[in-house]
Structure 1
């Protein structure tokens, strides 16, 4: 057989087909890339904002924590873990850690108990609609006040010449007024009480929403089985509210551990460091002692503790 002869006239057509195929493939690739990149284009402003306001400052603070006293010195040098050792062995930091643990634990437990109690009261059928509305308005008021207003109100009320001491002395509970926020024996508990009072309405509203989402058929079935009101609460209400209660508890631990404004405007961490928290300790290290390196190390430690709580919160949400 004779070998096939090359048709030179067909070469331009072959080249054109190949070029068209390459153009088609390239067009498809561009469309695919554009389609894939479109979501990132939409969220790019948020990513840029988060990077500028969060990621970059966090990275800078972490880098500061491994150097000597930054910002106030022109050429700081690396000191390794010396700042972390200094912070973790500082008696003031250990006292702040202890106070923070007491503060957030007592606040979270009280928020859950009070929020559940008031939510159940507002959800009961024993009260009329008008009465529930009035109570809701009254109970939600603490949540509407700003931190500055709350601090001023309670500093006046807890003053030796304030309303609280007047009522207690009039009722015969004490002989003379007490400066609740300046007495080392009462300052931490008074501050915790203020935080509880200011935060429980949010728990009340959240738990009330959870209560109203529980099906009445469950209570009817429990009543038919002869369950008492307590057994209904224990076997129906609490299991149905468990996801809400756990989520709210973890969130409150995170929020309360970062509380600063209320503490600073009421006690400032005093007296004698009995109300010193991790937030106020870090602030004083940076802006009172100008020890920005140790303040950065303290901030990183607080960040790690908060990230642990955030991890459990995200895990609970994914399980739900």
Structure 2
């Protein structure tokens, strides 16, 4: 009897341990490639002359004071806020409009299919392709300048990516164009999941299109919209490839963001301590947003 009970306990333990055995390789890989590098960067932020010097000096919070008082970092924060806020708002508006167009009953299935391919096209390109494409179009001799000069909107060609006044707006426009399909596809999926009974009931009550949109559509899409905004905030905050391959943070720091600032500190100036400090500050902001995102997901569940 005792042997049977002992065997039963072993079988139960084995079944309980089996999922963790399958997860172990992934957990080990994440620990090596994610946790350890993060801990190393956090440690570097409290030392001076790391990596280059074999005996780095512990300086505590001095690196944080230096970074937060660096004029270039303050410019990067200002540019990043403009880049992120404008991109998120534009993504939401454009994605919502296109999703509503694709969800309307006034278009046929073939027409919707064609529009879906066209609207989702920017999401299919990599950052390098997008950067090269837009650099060619925004070139002083590119197609954009040809169109606006042909329509007599301007007299001379404009250097969109080389002007301090226009460069940040141009890069933000590129990011908006490349990012709105994610919103469109997600919102469209949410719209198709809303029960038609709600709209039929609102029509019987005499609600117009505007009232239906704000009383039914938006509340039903609220969990999706919050998730999209939080994810997009983190992704846009960390956007690097697009900016680096179009302007490199220039001209004269006009498009310098936190991500390009960190890269320059580490791989141009070889100030790995300052780069680590900037990365930790960015990590803290993303972690706070991530906590809100997880809480929102749990409350939705």
- For residue 80 of structure 2, what is the aligned residue in structure 1? 100
- Superposed, 1:167-316 pairs within 5 Å as 167-316=147-296
Q: How many pairs were matched up?
A: 300
Q: Provide the C-alpha distance between the structure 1 equivalents of 2:219 and 2:58, rounded to a whole number of angstroms.
A: 52
Matches of 1:37 and 1:230, distance apart in 2? 54
- Partners of 2:19 and 2:132 lie apart in 1 by 47
Q: CA deviation at 1:97?
A: 0.9
Q: Structure 1 length normalisation: TM-score? A: 0.90
Distance 1:131 1:28, change over 3 A: closer
1:221 counterpart SS class: helix
Counterpart for residue 89 of structure 1:
69
Structure 1 unaligned regions, length at least 5? 1-19
Offset, 1:185: 0.4
Residue 127 (structure 1) aligned with residue 90 (structure 2):
no
Alpha-carbon distance in structure 2 between the residues aligned to 1:266 and 1:73: 34
Other structure's SS at 1:275 match: coil
Partner secondary structure for residue 263 of structure 2: helix
CA apart distance, 1:104 = 0.7
Q: CA deviation at 1:29?
A: 5.9
Alpha-carbon distance in 1 for matches of 2:22, 2:136: 50
Give the whole-Å Cα distance in 2 for the aligned partners of 1:187 and 1:246: 30
Aligned residue for 1:7? none
1:163 has 2:143 as partner: yes
Give 3-state SS (helix, strand or coil) of 1:180's partner. Answer: coil
Describe the shift of the 1:31–1:127 C-alpha distance in structure 2 as closer, same or farther (beyond 3 A): closer
TM-score (norm 2): 0.96
Looking at structure 2, the residues matched to 126 and 34 of structure 1 have their Cα atoms a distance apart, in angstroms, of 57
The alpha carbon displacement at 1:147 in A equals 0.8
Q: Tell which structure's C-alpha radius of gyration is larger.
A: 1
Give, in whole Å, the separation in 2 of the partners of 1:264 and 1:251. 21
Q: Deviations over 1:201-225 (max 9, x none)?
A: 1111110011111111111111111
Deviation at 1:34, TM superposition (A): 3.7
1:39-73 deviation line (CA, Å, top 9, x unaligned): 32121011101001000011111111111111111
Distance 1:281 1:25 in 2: 63
Distance 1:129 1:29 in 2: 58
Distance 1:85 1:135, change over 3 A: same
* Aligned residue in 1 for 2:118: 138
User: How many Å apart are 1:116 and its aligned residue?
Assistant: 0.3
Report the aligned-residue RMSD: 1.5
Task: Supply the distance in 1 between the matched residues of 2:5 and 2:44 (Cα, whole angstroms).
Answer: 50
Q: Partners in 1 of 2:6 and 2:19 — Cα distance?
A: 21
Cα separation, partners in 2 of 1:25 and 1:133, compared to 1, 3 Å: closer
> Partner of 1:133: helix, strand, or coil?
helix
- Deviations, residues 238-264 of structure 1 (Å, cap 9, x unaligned): 111111111101100011011100000
